[in-house]
Structure 1
Amino acid sequence: MSVRPGRRTAVGRFRTAVGALVVALAAGAAVTLPAAEAQAAGPRAAKVVYLTFDDGPSPAYTPKVLATLARYGVRATFFEIGQNVAAHPSVTKQVARAGHSVQNHTWSHPDLRRLSASALNAQLADTDRAVRAQTGRTPSCLRPPYGSVNSTVRSKAAALGKQVVLWSVDPADWSRPGTAAITSRVLDNVRPGSVILLHDGGGDRGQTVAALPSIISTLKARGYGFAALCG
């Protein structure tokens, strides 16, 4: 199918805006797509959000998350812990085969600001190797545990060719506040361009799994689309 020159330009500007989104997230900002870029990309592209899942892969919960994403035709980004990838390699492979983005969330979930240079490097490089072995791709983004980041962490990430990606909507699902609370905290705070922080690993994620269908279906009903970061 041919694409009109004006439409191709609009799509290009939208992709540039998404790149700017990742950079803004590296600074820890709550961000949305610039209005001009969103309008140029069209009303559907203007309302895009990014579902992200931390601390997996989990053999108990990641497949359930994947099943829901598949049911609604949604792509997401999974920030995975290296030691979990090593323990459950087939689950990481399943995430990648489903078309989702698999990114670096360190090897063992430490506060990277407190590590020596060599230990920090090992946390990122070891996770890269584990993910690459299952997906065939080296992660291009890093999500620091706890959102803890400083100039050293940014420099090391940049040296490894990575963007630092945080989030703009956090329902604190890790604390298991209840399915209804997780759902309402996301839906009440989401905006075009929001990066939503959820968890598929690190504990009992049954509430997150239960909240996901309502989150996705409601956002779709509001006219939102979904995309993966760093993919």
Structure 2
Amino acid sequence: MIKRLKFPAWVVIGTAMILIVAGFIQLFDSAGLRKSAENVTTISKYPGLDLHTLTKETDHYTYSTSQPETEHQAINESINQWIDGEKGAFLKEVEISKESLDDTMRAHLNIQVETNRMSENFYSLVFRSYSITGGANGQNKVNVFNLDMTNGRLLELGDALELDGENIDQLKEIIWEGLQSNQEWQLYVDETLFNEVMGDPDNWKWSIDNGHFTLYWDEYEIAAGAAGEMELDIPIEKIAVFLKKSIQSYLAMPEEQVRELDAIREREQLKLDPDGKYIALTFDDGPSAAVTPKVLQALKDHNAKATFFMLGSQAEYYPGLVREVAKAGHEIGNHSGSHPDLSKADAAKIRDEIAGTTKTIKDAAGVDVNHFRPPYGAYNEGVIDYMNETGQSIILWSVDSLDWKYRNSETVRQTILQQASPGAIVLMHDIHPTTADALPDLLSALEQEGYEFVTVSQLLEWKGQAGVGPYFGSRQASGK
């Protein structure tokens, strides 16, 4: 016979059961056996950035949006404002097309983000939006946000590039050339639309990394629809002259790349006048611990750039000086490893002497070597063949200072001044103290005569010369 409990008994038993269960739960919690979802932490791959996906589905439309979130309110507000704008425009189109939308044809909006971490605290977020509210084709859009996570702000184009003076026009020319280099885009890009869109740099959609400056355009923005959404990568070297030092820091560029870009900037910023008065000073046989630093100081005092033809044996002993020469913006050339007469050398000897020195210089300073000066000015067909193979040039001289012969600073100065002419290549050696002593007065005298100092590469470009050579520079005009 089952005895039924009266109400008060049920209350007592129920309360007891609740207390027992609560006790077990507390025991599990204290032992770490039960974990709440609130205690589970998910760490983003990108420090300082979280990503939320928002979706919605109705009878007339669906959407899915990727929405990044940072610790900085100003950044979040800018990103959310753009996403909300895209949603708002989409929903307006949905309202207009509502009558034609049903389960068989619903409008759709999709916004996805590509996250590019350029350095520890610099991100580029590339958003791509696709929407369709009817018809056969949807619409593609793109937008970019460059995030300075250190200062909690968005980078503007002016933070990356110098936009003063004629820079905008020059940048537009580089961008247009890049578009025209794509044979498919040539058929669709509209120059009038391009000029209208690119007229205001504040509206450019861009990103930047150590390799490229990238621009983005919506479908139909500067070209016919067949071109689609467009993305153009411009090698960073092509815009080196416009780069701000601050952006190099943002990108955490390695020292070697900074030097290369600085060298490009130096060359580009010196606009050589076809009728100008230029001279290339060159120094052989170094670097020398005793003399090269004095030569560098004299050149620095006169804001003069020169070309140093280094011996591999010297560069190996003084790699720090090789770096100093490159860091100061000077050009480095190859003068062989051990200063032999290569006119009597075979192919193997030529290769060893030149290739070994090129590697030593590259290892020390991270710069490319494009020019070779044969010791004693002596070379043979084997040297020419090797120059053709490696794409280097043979550089000789038109003015010999004879500093190796006359160890007298005044004699060196007078010898050079008597032979100097526009386009000359001057031979000196940064191993003789008297040469370093002659430089300050020599540079002042040449400046007074209107000369500007350039590297060998700049001189060859000015003269329109390219290839193996040999190149001597201009000799003194008669009657000077």
Fold in common (TM above 0.5): yes
Matched, 1:99 2:329: yes
> In proportion to residue count, which structure has more strand?
2
For 1:173, the equivalent position in structure 2 comes to 403
Shift of residue 220 of structure 1? 0.3
> In proportion to residue count, which structure has more helix?
1
**4+ residue segments displaced more than 3 Å:** none
Equivalent residue letter for 1:210: D
Shift of residue 151 of structure 1? 2.1
Compare CA radii of gyration and give the structure with the larger one: 2
Shift of residue 152 of structure 1? 1.9
Report the count of equivalent residues. 193
Q: How does 1:11-50 map to 2 (within 5 A)?
A: 41=273, 43=275, 46-50=276-280
Shift of residue 112 of structure 1? 0.8
Q: How does 1:10-159 map to 2 (within 5 A)?
A: 41=273, 43=275, 46-159=276-389
Equivalent residue letter for 2:440: P
* Residues 10-40 of structure 1 deviation map (CA, whole Å, 9 limit, x = unaligned): xxxxxxxxxxxxxxxxxxxxxxxxxxxxxx9
For 2:448, the equivalent position in structure 1 comes to 221
5+ residue gaps in structure 2?
1-164, 171-271, 459-480
Matched, 1:2 2:234: no
For 1:8, the equivalent position in structure 2 comes to none
Q: What root-mean-square deviation, in Å, do the aligned CA atoms of Structure 1 and Structure 2 show?
A: 1.9
Matched, 1:199 2:199: no
Aligned to 1:175, the other structure's residue is in SS state coil
* Residues 84-121 of structure 1 deviation map (CA, whole Å, 9 limit, x = unaligned): 10011101111000000011000000011111211110
Is the Cα–Cα contact under 8 Å of residues 103 and 140 in structure 1 kept in the other structure? yes
Is the Cα–Cα contact under 8 Å of residues 183 and 215 in structure 1 kept in the other structure? yes
Counterparts of 1:73 and 1:181, CA distance in 2: 24
For 1:10, the equivalent position in structure 2 comes to none
Counterparts of 1:58 and 1:49, CA distance in 2: 23
Q: Percent identity?
A: 35
Counterparts of 2:353 and 2:323, CA distance in 1: 20
5+ residue gaps in structure 1?
6-39
Shift of residue 41 of structure 1? 2.3
Q: TM-score, normalised by structure 2?
A: 0.39
Is the Cα–Cα contact under 8 Å of residues 319 and 365 in structure 2 kept in the other structure? no
Instruction: Point out which structure has higher relative CO (alpha carbons under 8 A, 6+ apart).
Output: 1
Is the Cα–Cα contact under 8 Å of residues 129 and 138 in structure 1 kept in the other structure? no
Aligned to 1:49, the other structure's residue is in SS state strand
Q: 1:163 to 1:122 in 2, by over 3 A?
A: same
Shift of residue 73 of structure 1? 0.3
Q: TM-score, normalised by structure 1?
A: 0.79
